[in-house]
């Protein structure tokens, strides 16, 4: 894992467009980098396989995006990237990471639960989808307990 740079955006965007039902735009990734968010990529053999975007807000942070290339999914990479992201956040003295996830995204929900996130709330009809709307599940992970405990 390493920090994402502007040069990585084309490759990250290709993965994003292939794996996300509602993909971020190039501008979203460039903005995240320019805002100084914690943007990281997993690279092997000169190829990016996944990425995470974390937005710090004082002592807390929000996971804005995570994606793994389709051919690399279900091999433990998503969990490894998530734990790397939590480790980096912990080393920056953050106390808690939040995220929101579509209630239909069973893969992401299972991943987050397996990495120590717990459900703390529900926002009804938060996301648009093909059927109109769907709920967002809000999750949190306390870093002191999860990483140091």
**Cα-based torsion angle of the residue sequence 122, 125, 127, 131 in order, rounded to the nearest 10 degrees:** 130
Site string for ligand COA, 109-148 (x = CB under 6 A): -xx--x----------------------------------
- The residue among 5 and 17 lying less far from ligand COA, judged by its C-beta, is 17
- Assign 121 to helix, strand or coil: strand
Q: Rule CB under 6 A: is residue 66 a binding residue for ligand COA?
A: yes
By CB under 6 A, which span of 6-14, 63-71, 83-91, 118-126 interacts with ligand COA?
63-71
CA 117, CA 145: separation in Å to the nearest integer?
11
Which helix (H) or strand (E) element contains residue 38? strand 38-44
How many residues make contact with ligand COA (CB under 6 A)?
21
Q: Which of 11, 62, 100, 134 is catalytic?
A: 100
DSSP 87: H
Question: Which residue has 């995204």 as its token pair?
Answer: 105
Among 3, 59, 76, 92, indicate the residue that binds ligand COA (CB under 6 A).
Answer: 76
With CA atoms as reference, report the closest residue to 35 among 11, 61, 1: 61
- The residue among 73 and 138 lying less far from ligand COA, judged by its C-beta, is 73
Q: Rule CB under 6 A: is residue 52 a binding residue for ligand COA?
A: no
Copy the structure tokens of residue 4.
């994402």
CA 77, CA 59: separation in Å to the nearest integer?
26
Residues of the shown chain interacting with ligand COA in the complex, contacts defined by CB under 6 A: 19-20, 65-68, 73-79, 101, 105-108, 110-111, 114
Instruction: Return the active site residues.
Output: 100, 112
């Amino acid at each position: 894992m390493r920090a994402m740079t502007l040069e990585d955006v084309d490759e990250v965007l290709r993965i994003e467009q292939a794996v996300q039902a509602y993909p971020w735009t190039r501008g979203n990734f460039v903005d995240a980098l320019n805002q100084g968010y914690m943007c990281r990529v997993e690279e092997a053999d000169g190829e990016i396989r996944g990425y995470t975007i974390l937005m710090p807000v004082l002592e807390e942070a929000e996971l804005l995006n995570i994606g793994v290339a389709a051919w690399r999914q279900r091999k433990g990479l998503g969990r490894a990237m998530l734990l790397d992201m939590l480790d980096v956040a912990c080393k920056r003295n953050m106390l808690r990471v939040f995220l929101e996830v579509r209630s239909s995204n069973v893969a992401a929900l299972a991943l987050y639960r397996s990495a120590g996130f717990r459900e703390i709330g529900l926002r009804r009809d938060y996301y648009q989808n093909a059927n109109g709307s769907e709920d967002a599940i809000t999750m949190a992970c306390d870093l002191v307990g999860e990483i140091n405990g």
